[in-house]
Every structure is written in C-alpha cells, then in structure tokens.
Amino acid sequence: MSIPTASSNASLRAFLHGLPGVDRVGADARAAGLGTRSIKTTAKRQAIDLAISMVDLTTLEGADTRGKVRAMCAKAVHPDPTDPTVPKVAAVCVYPDLVAEARDVVGSSGVKVASVATAFPSGRSSLEVKVADTAMAVAAGADEIDMVIDRGAFLSGDYVKVFEEIQAIKAACGEAHLKVILETGELATYDNVRRASWLAMLAGGDFIKTSTGKVQPAATLPVTLVMLEAVRDFRDREGRMVGVKPAGGIRTTKDAIKMLVLVNETAGPDWLDPDWFRLGASSVLNDLLMQRQKLTTGRYAGPDYFTLD
C-alpha cells in the first residue's frame, strides 16, 4: 500500500483504514506484561534520572498565575535544589499567554518552553484562530507547540480536515517543534489511535502526544504501546523519526518506569532520549525525586520536603 501524498479524503481513508487492525486483547496483555518488569537498584537509579530528564513539567489550569508559572519553571531547572546531581527536566508546558513568563525564567538553561495552542483542550475553533493562537505562542518564545486535533472531524471521517489543519499549524510553527495531541480518551478504539497517529505523522507532526490531560482515560500503557508501534513502523517506511509523549495520569515512578520499558521494548532504545520521548506530567516529578532520595539516603522520603505544585 502506498503512502498517500496528495491528500484527498478517499486516499487518506483508503490508507488509514488499510492499516492493520489492533488486537485489543493482545495490546492490553502485552502492555500489562511489560509493566511487570522489575527495575531495581542501579538500573532504577538510571531510569529515574532518565525519566526526570524526559518530564514536560506541565501546568494547564484556568487558575494559573504568573507566579505559579515562575515557580514551576524554577523547579524545572533545579528539580531538587538540595541535590545538584538531579538532571533538569526536558521542558515546561504552559498556556500561550504565559510563554513569555516561562521563557524569562528558564532562559538559556536548556529547558525548553512548550505551549499548548489551537483552542486547547477542545480544539473547537476556526483554523484562523488556531493559527493565530500558535503564532502568538511562537512569537512569545515557545520552542514547542502542543496542538490538539479536531476529534469531531476525525471521528466523522473528515481526515482531510484534520490533515490540513496539522499542516497549517506546522507551517505556523516555523522553527518550533510540533506535538500533535490525539486525545486518545475520545478516540474510542485502538484502531482509531493507530490511524490518528499515522495521520498526524503524515501531516508533519514532530511528536505525537496521547492526551490533553483533561479527559479520562489519558495516557494508558496500551495506548502508548500502539503509538510507539506507529512511530517505529513510520520510521521503517518513511525514514523519519517521530517522538511520542504520553501525558496525563502518570503519577508515580512506577508508572514512569513502565513507560520507559515500553519504549525500549517497542520502539527501541533510539527513543530513550528526551528528544524523542517525553512524559507529560506534573505530580510524577515529586514522586521521582522522592524515589531518588530514597535510593540516595536509604530512608523513605516524605512529600513535606518537596515543593507543592
């Protein structure tokens, strides 16, 4: 089957519906099986540091203030101020109007600034507004844009609309990386997750991201597995590497390490890098730091000794 170049609904439909179906039971079992791997001592230490360096520290609340964003950005650069050996996180993720604030704090530390855009989280607006939203975030200094796809169009089979929207946003991004949020919790089936992943990659997304974090279920292991298979297969066919970002519902170190195992076993070790795999989360960082401290000091850590966020 050929990869569609000229985008017409018929050719996209033919391609996406020609993708092999996902065995739901098999995917669930595979993800659950990989989730039982026991990662201990030095391997755990490495996994924790890798996971910290992959975190997209996120705050996406209506109640976000400039002060909260500044505090979070400071934490992104120095996750544990008492221990300089803790790596910095990959990026901070905020709403577009707070990008400048975040940019100001992270400066040249190497922490990227990501911004959600395109009428996040519902994606219900006109293309003009979405493009303007994106342009505003990029102008304010965002390195990465997290866009949401139009799930309504996707579910009703209007693949061209989704495809062209991603292309338009990609163009508006310029130098900035584009992460495409599929909102898998609303896509109903794993087959749809696979189709949406391919659609986003074909349209030029640099990353595919599971969820906005506003819909449950969010980043489950099987959904991430399906997406990792998609990026692996996409690289085999197209030669271009696309990153994956599970977001939402990753709360514990165990969740994060399960994700890393899944990456290694599905897409391969090439993806075990903050450039190609991210964890969209906020609360998981404190748990990672607590586990890290447990490994360092030999005593269980308490949340009283880490920042509230």
Partner 1 sequence: MSERLSVRKTYKLYIGGAFPRSESGRSYVVTGAKGEFLANASKASRKDVRDAVSAARKAFPGWSSATAYNRGQILYRIAEMLEGRRAQFVSEVAEADGVSGKKAGELVDAAVDRLVWYAGWSDKISSLRGSANPVAGPYFNLSTPEPTGVVGIVAPPMGPLFGLVSVIAPVIVTGNTCVVIASERAPLPSITLAEVLATSDLPGGVVNILTGSSAEMAPWLAGHMDVNGLDLTGADAELAQKCEELAAENLKRVLRPNGKTDWAADPGTGRMTAFLETKTVWHPIGI
The residues that touch partner 1, with contacts defined as CB under 8 A, are 298-305
Distance, CA of 144 to CA of 169 (rounded, Å): 12
Radius of gyration of the chain (CA): 19
Which is closer to partner 1, CB of 214 or CB of 251? 251
Asked if 294 is an active-site residue, the reply is no
Rounded to a whole number of angstroms, the minimum distance from the CB of residue 94 to partner 1 is 29
Distance, CA of 129 to CA of 96 (rounded, Å): 13
Rounded to a whole number of angstroms, the minimum distance from the CB of residue 33 to partner 1 is 20
Tally of CB atoms within 10 A around 50? 18
Catalytic annotation, pick one of 112, 130, 170, 245: 245
The pairing of strands 144-148 and 55-58 is unpaired
Asked if 245 is an active-site residue, the reply is yes
Two tokens at 116? 């959600």
Which is closer to partner 1, CB of 128 or CB of 299? 299
Distance, CA of 120 to CA of 99 (rounded, Å): 15
Rounded to a whole number of angstroms, the minimum distance from the CB of residue 305 to partner 1 is 6
Which is closer to partner 1, CB of 128 or CB of 304? 304
Distance, CA of 75 to CA of 70 (rounded, Å): 9
Catalytic annotation, pick one of 146, 150, 255, 287: 146
Which is closer to partner 1, CB of 125 or CB of 252? 252
The pairing of strands 112-117 and 91-94 is parallel
Rounded to a whole number of angstroms, the minimum distance from the CB of residue 255 to partner 1 is 15
Q: Which residues are annotated as catalytic?
A: 146, 209, 245
